[in-house]
């Protein structure tokens, strides 16, 4: 099975929009939301590979729930060799001063940002808004489940500043065959009829991370090279839902 992500249309659309926002440095905040399995983390890996390391320093925080404001500031202070204090405000001020002398652009990426505490988000905002010269030295990207969008809308003062707001919606029905071909090969993909592909799409809700395990079960339940009828697909999916 090919483990490289499949660049479906909506994923690629969001990727192009976000990459442009990062490279142009004219948006201090970027928001990306999507259901589990739509490829949000794969998007971050792809973006990281695209960006020039001589221009950008990327700080990727995977478990936002565990990251407090003091921890964020301490980590940045250590990376910038700014020194820390027992007082959070002093440490934050030292980080801000160090950022003013930094030649790289600092990209703070928060995955699972729907779990980010208000205090941590406030600290990130302080770093972004410390750039009085408008040089775009710090940029924050918030990535999470769709509820992150509504959480941020409840903070109008911040929501207004988020100029890039993208949601990865998932595949379209006509992309299912190409997805399976990408991951399992052409011969395996052709074993499924259109009704079988439609059943996978419906049960997987157009989400690659949900559809691929389902497809794996379907192929495992019908070994060989013969055509898999849609009734077989439906039976496997029904058993999956009952498990």
How do residues 91-103 score in pLDDT, each as one tens digit? 777 877 777 777 7
Helix, strand or coil, per DSSP, at residue 103: coil
- Could you tell me the strand order of the sheet in which 29-34 lies? 56-61, 105-110, 138-144, 29-34, 164-168
Rg (CA), the chain: 22
Closest CA relative to residue 216, chosen from 195, 192, 193, 194? 192
Query: CB within 8 A of 91, min separation 6: which ones?
Result: 70, 73, 74, 77, 82, 83, 84, 85
Q: Give 132's pLDDT tier (boundaries 50, 70, 90).
A: low
On the question of pLDDT at 85 being above 60, the answer is: yes
* Overall pTM surpassing 0.95 (yes/no): no
- Side-chain-side CA neighbours of residue 93 (13 Å): 6
Closest CA relative to residue 162, chosen from 139, 131, 146? 139
Stated as kind and residue range, the H or E segment containing 114 is none
**Which domains, and CATH codes, for the chain?**
9-168 (3.40.50.300), 173-242 (1.10.8)
- The better pLDDT of the pair 62, 133 is held by 62
Mean pLDDT for 81-92 is 71
On the question of pLDDT at 87 being above 90, the answer is: no
On the question of pLDDT at 243 being above 50, the answer is: no
Contact 211, 200 (CB under 8 A): yes
Rounded Cα–Cα distance for residues 236 and 213 (Å):
11
Average pLDDT, whole number, for the chain?
88
- The better pLDDT of the pair 158, 75 is held by 158
Rounded Cα–Cα distance for residues 202 and 195 (Å):
10
Tens of pLDDT, residue by residue over 167-200, are: 999 999 999 999 999 999 999 999 999 999 999 9
Lowest mean pLDDT among 75-79, 108-112, 205-209: 75-79
The pLDDT score that the predictor gives to residue 178 is 97
């Amino acid at each position: 099975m090919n483990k490289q992500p499949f660049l479906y249309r909506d994923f690629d659309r969001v990727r192009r929009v976000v990459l442009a926002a990062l490279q142009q440095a004219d948006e201090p905040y970027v928001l990306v939301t999507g259901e589990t399995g739509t490829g949000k983390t794969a998007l971050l890996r792809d973006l990281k590979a695209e960006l020039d390391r001589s221009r950008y320093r990327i700080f990727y925080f995977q478990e936002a729930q565990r990251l407090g404001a003091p921890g964020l500031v301490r980590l940045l202070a250590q990376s910038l060799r700014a020194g820390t204090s027992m007082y959070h405000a002093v440490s934050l001020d030292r980080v801000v001063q160090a950022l003013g002398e930094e030649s790289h652009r600092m990209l703070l990426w928060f995955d699972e940002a729907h779990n980010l505490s208000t205090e941590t988000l406030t600290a990130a905002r302080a770093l972004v808004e410390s750039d009085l010269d408008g040089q775009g030295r710090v940029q924050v990207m918030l990535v999470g489940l769709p509820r992150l969008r509504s959480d941020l809308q409840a903070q109008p003062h911040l929501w207004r500043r988020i100029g890039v707001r993208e949601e990865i919606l998932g595949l379209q029905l006509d992309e299912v065959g190409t997805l399976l071909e990408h991951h399992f090969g052409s011969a395996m993909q052709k074993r499924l009829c259109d009704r079988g592909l439609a059943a996978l799409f419906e049960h997987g809700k157009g989400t690659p991370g949900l559809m691929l395990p389902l497809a794996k079960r379907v192929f495992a339940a019908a070994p060989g090279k013969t055509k898999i009828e849609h009734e077989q697909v439906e039976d496997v999916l029904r058993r999956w839902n009952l498990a």
